[in-house]
A and B are shown apart, each in its own frame.
Chain A
């Protein structure tokens, strides 16, 4: 590779249009690109959803309503987001709007985690803290080391990837920590009764929960290139960037996502465990979700 990463990323950034999204769908849609699918392409992509609906109906899975709702919701959300992004990414728009967008992302991520894990006590402030920490650290590394230039078109999608991936892991970590401590209350109290501190008594269960939350991202990082081609890389290749250059960008992103997930899971895992014990090392009462 003859280009240094910062130089390469500046060049790539200049040619990048919108499209680095949360997990794997990183299509780069240039206005003049052949990868623009148009409304017809978008409608055609719903064919498989129709198949899925038919399967659900035939097998009485009861998922038809959920699938329709999720497709409709995703469509509306992304169309609104796309419209808003055109304003924020306008060449004359101040970068302040991008940073405000990131703050909104952190807030929405906290709300989403709370909604997905309602049985976890006090999860909102923790999720907010975790995503804020992840946003600050990952964007600090990305822009502090000049991996990408500080521009609206890099700030928003990169923050979205880091926060989005972390959010999913945070939900798993929060639910697992709470579930482990609730379901293994007898064991935890047996440890406390031996004079162990809350940190010692909860360690095996916290470790298990954090492993469960992080393993998908670790496995995904292991399998990248062998099983699937990740979104950002696919998007760059579709936009005409050399595969090797696209790989370099993708690797940087994957490493950052892995670090972000680890940070957020740690913040939520340790923070939540602390909240589930009283200062005198008693496990609080935890109710099973309905």
Chain B
């Protein structure tokens, strides 16, 4: 027997006591487990599920926006956004002190945020951090950086009213950004997933969804250079005449493609907040105005098309005073007898009213609707205005007369220019559009726009006759001489419309919209341009205020496009950049109007794929030479589609 074996009986008792204590302890633990898992289980389970589930809005990289020559108009760049998890921060004071200079946020404001009883709070979004600053921020406990995509507009004000802008969460708020928001966003799919305690998204269960599809790229019909030219010219006039605003639209009349759309006032989409909300809108599309005399060309078009008048028919202009019912109409100068060509050339209100009388309200109304007034053109931009054309049943005694010279109707800029383009286009009204194609990130074309003929409005003969008359407007003695360009015939019309005064119900004294609309070259037109200047001070005649703007835009754009004077062949030289020498359809087009939308499109810069597609749509043959982008073609753009052979397109 060893010493110490004696107290063994008590020893056993003590061991049993300890063992018993442990068994009870385990029993209690088991009881607690039952309590937690069975009794409280369902309610705890619900709470757990709630914190796991979260509607994720995985932000994909927003697609870029390009002009027609693939020049960047809007791009997405990755920037840092700094957030805090206040619950994990031990000393808000210290952290706030460190972060305040880095983020440029006041110490007081930061500390307040850091003391919030929240799991997550943004401290500063979309901030530019230097590498060493980023390092400091990363080392702070409870502070993190998230990569966010920020929209950047490299050309600042350029085309801002078309492009629009995005909000902080990268959703399009205006312009193309808004109209094509879902495509630019890509499949920023909202789906339910798991989130972890840090609010990070875990999509580990579905690897297919971990990479959100990036937004698509949008290529506009806008040409950055022409846009720049238009903005520059417009701004000059608006500044010169102290006008409240203005627009300039440039369209390819054969296709309906918008090449430029300038607005004044404008804004810098990189810093939207600095500008009044009034600067954001694209007034060429969203605003309406009374067209005034520019509208006369549609009256003449209708009367010509109906065979009621000929250019040589004369009307008596009442020497500037024409009483109808209780109204007396005036011309700005007193005219006697004028033929139709000169009625347009001098812009006589009285004779226009007389032509209106001859045409009748039903026909006038019918033609206005056919030209697209009173209904949206369907342009792919947000907020398009309808304009206002009262039904002829509701016309009063003089409405027919006033409408004949463009009073009592309202139109949007894009609407008017489309209508004018139909005259340039042999009578075919084209649907205007600003987006050429949408591509995914892999460069595959998702959707592509093609010229769409809305309807034939007038006959080709009418269009040709009218065009000739409109050329007169810019010739010696016409109201639009200031819009005339050397070497080219310009077809156009001036407009000087008093602005309606909504308070008194009449017209505002001294408040005018001075406009000029036209197309150039008159035969085989390449550009249709509308210029409106809102409330110019001093001068207010459309021909004086807007005519020169038209001229400047047209001249510079034609030179840029490499369109040269008729009957002078292009200088035989290598032209740098995008400009490719093209002749103005050297072969005489006996009746250009008849050939327009059946003319060869401008393939310059297009891909093989796109060229083939256009050719297929328009049902003509194409011979492809080389690969890449189209650099040359025969016949030239605007020439008639040959009936006995393919259109040859060279690519490089």
- A and B pair up: no
- Chain A contacts to B: CB under 8 angstroms: none
